[in-house]
Structure 1
Amino acid sequence: VVCLRLGRTYDPSCMQLDEVLVASSAEAQQAIALCTVDVDQVPDIVATLGIRSPTALVFFYRSQLMSVTTGGQVSNHVFWPVQTKAEFLDLASAVHRGAKEGRKVVNSPKEVTLTAGYS
């Protein structure tokens, strides 16, 4: 599974997520390859994926985009704040398990209430 962090390195939410990813990288490396992507460098990808939030995580498995369900809604990217190492590892584990089982949509281990402005 490949996890792309899409964002701008100077954005506070992106910096917070990067800290979580760095803290998680050693434990996550068995299941997830982590990559950071500057959204200003790949605007076509951002548009194709429909990403409007300042920071997002996108998961791929065998070149297939993975989606995550959050309280009934399905999204092809994680846009809510992943604030702790444990939270990211739970999410990465859920995506990895789902991918290995052949699913393209996995359930988020955390229930997320979608707020206005994020989709």
Structure 2
Amino acid sequence: MSYVLRTLRKKREVDSIIRDTIDTVLVLRFGRALDPICLQLDDILSKSEREVSKFATVALVDIDSEDVQVYVKYFDITLIPSTVFFFNAHHMKMDSGSADHTKWVGTFLRKQDFIDVLEAIYRGAMKGKLIVSCPLPPQRIPKYQLLYKDV
């Protein structure tokens, strides 16, 4: 569990943080507090929070909370951790070379990678874009297999 980052367990909390975060990037990490990869990502997020606080807000969403399942289903959170980005209540997407542009799956290899991704999203959002290109080289982007149900 992160003692620095706010954890959201209710749909109402997620709704209000999305609605109320204005002119900064909202980072929502969907995962479990005790998952080792989530803990690794949470460490990077909490260590970066002060540096990105002028243009980003970071919060954790507990995917085991019954009340947030509508978001888990909506963003198709099947792999954890999954990180979703918003700007002024608009879902920000990132082309990182995978078939899924809606979220970042996995952790970041280092703190600077997370900051670089956030800066790219913020700059794109300030120009009115809803999708940006990932600034990281391909070898620093986590690889995973997308599993499609009922295909």
The alignment's TM-score, normalised by the length of structure 2, stands at 0.73
Cα offset for 1:62? Answer: 1.1
Gaps of 5+ in 2: 1-24
2: CA distance, partners of 1:71 / 1:40: 29
Q: Which has the larger radius of gyration?
A: 2
1:62 aligns with 2:91: no
1: CA distance, partners of 2:98 / 2:62: 30
Q: Deviations over 1:32-58 (max 9, x none)?
A: 111111011211101011111110111
**Relative to structure 1, is the Cα distance of residues 35 and 72 closer, same or farther in structure 2, using a 3 angstrom cutoff?**
closer
Which protein has greater RCO, CA pairs closer than 8 Å, 6+ apart?
1
Q: Select 2:60's aligned residue among 36, 58, 71.
A: 36
Alpha-carbon RMSD across the aligned residues, in angstroms, is 1.7
Identity of aligned residues (%): 29
Gaps of 5+ in 1: none
Cα offset for 1:73? Answer: 3.8
**Relative to structure 1, is the Cα distance of residues 113 and 15 closer, same or farther in structure 2, using a 3 angstrom cutoff?**
closer
Q: Which moved more, 1:73-82 or 1:96-105?
A: 73-82
Q: Select 1:8's aligned residue among 16, 22, 32.
A: 32
2: CA distance, partners of 1:95 / 1:69: 11
Q: Deviations over 1:3-30 (max 9, x none)?
A: 1011000000100000001110110101
Read off the aligned partner of 1:60 and give its amino acid letter: F
Query: Is the contact made by 1:67 and 1:104 (CA closer than 8 Å) also made in structure 2?
Result: yes
The alignment's TM-score, normalised by the length of structure 1, stands at 0.91
**Hey, what does 1:116 align to over in structure 2?**
145
Number of equivalent positions:
119
Regions of 4+ moved over 6 Å: none
- 2:33 aligns to what SS in structure 1? coil
Read off the aligned partner of 2:30 and give its amino acid letter: L
